């Protein structure tokens, strides 16, 4: 009985010319993002790649502190990835948010805690979720707004400028959730910030509010 012909030969195996670059970019993305579950994250990565959607990739490696060394919870870098993926839609379904969240290997219970901070239904206004996500990362209202500015700015750097309208929304929303600052004080604070923003083409810089009375944060 004659031996069967080889199933594959060098001529039969077709390697797409773009495959090496795809694998190279995937490897670099995994190194920058450092997912705790590479398989789960890879599924989200290639799903987004096939659909032409923003990839679940951090801009740079986040160096954890000694306390966070084994932590797999939300970080500013992960929140920025979610912002890149979901902010263009304005309002997102909880189902899609959960999918993107799990693709980053983040704990479901932390997402539930954030969602319970407001009366969300099946749809989530992204900017509100971003603000609440920042509030879980910052130890104070000041730190929460600082994190949001660094995520939202289009000019990375120490100034982290964002529009006054965006700053006003974030601050007012988080201050209302917090409930510790009187409305008159909030309005007076925002008035001072707007005066400074008007001198910066309507942009709020980090240093604009770092010098404000700490009671407002």
Q: Looking at the structure, do residues 113 and 178 belong to the same domain, yes or no?
A: no
pLDDT in tens, 137-192: 988 888 999 999 999 998 878 888 999 999 999 999 999 998 888 999 999 999 99
From 126, 156, 171, give the residue that closes a domain. Answer: 126
Residue 203 lies in a domain: yes
Same domain, 79 and 150: no
Q: What is the pLDDT of residues 130-149, one digit of tens each?
A: 999 999 998 888 899 999 99
Torsion angle defined by CA atoms of residues 93, 95, 98 and 99, in that order, rounded to the nearest 10 degrees: -110
Q: Do residue 216 and residue 161 come from a single domain?
A: yes
The residue to which tokens 């993926």 are assigned: 85
Same domain, 24 and 117: yes
Its pTM stands at: 0.85
Same domain, 154 and 202: yes
The pLDDT value recorded for residue 1 is 55
7 is a domain residue: no
| 43-76 per-position pLDDT tens digit | 999 999 999 999 999 998 987 654 444 457 899 9
State whether 34 and 102 are in the same domain: yes
Neighbours of 92 (CB within 10 A): 20
User: Whole-angstrom Cα distance, residue 135 to residue 139?
Assistant: 7
- The predicted-structure confidence for 72-103, as pLDDT tens digits, reads as follows 789 999 999 999 999 999 999 999 999 999 99
Give the model's pLDDT for residue 100: 97
What local confidence, expressed as pLDDT, does residue 207 receive? 78
Cβ neighbours of 176 (radius 10 Å): 12
pLDDT at 158: 82
């Amino acid at each position: 009985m004659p031996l069967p012909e080889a199933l594959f030969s060098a001529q039969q195996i077709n390697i797409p010319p773009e495959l090496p670059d795809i694998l190279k970019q995937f490897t670099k993305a995994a190194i920058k993002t450092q997912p705790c579950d590479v398989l789960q994250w890879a599924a989200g990565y290639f799903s987004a790649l096939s659909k032409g959607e923003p990839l679940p990739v951090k801009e740079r490696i986040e160096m954890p502190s000694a306390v966070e060394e084994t932590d797999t919870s939300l970080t500013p870098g992960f929140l920025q990835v979610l912002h890149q993926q979901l902010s263009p839609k304005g309002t997102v379904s909880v189902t899609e948010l959960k999918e993107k969240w799990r693709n980053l290997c983040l704990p479901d219970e932390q997402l539930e805690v954030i969602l319970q901070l407001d009366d969300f239904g099946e749809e989530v206004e992204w900017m509100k979720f971003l603000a609440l996500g920042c509030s879980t990362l910052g130890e104070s209202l000041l730190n929460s707004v600082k994190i949001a500015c660094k995520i939202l700015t289009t000019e990375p750097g120490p100034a982290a400028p964002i529009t006054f309208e965006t700053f006003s929304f974030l601050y007012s929303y988080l201050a209302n959730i917090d409930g510790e600052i009187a409305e008159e004080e909030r309005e007076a604070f925002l008035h001072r910030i707007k005066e400074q923003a008007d001198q910066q083409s309507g942009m709020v810089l980090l240093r604009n509010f770092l010098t404000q009375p700490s009671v407002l944060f």
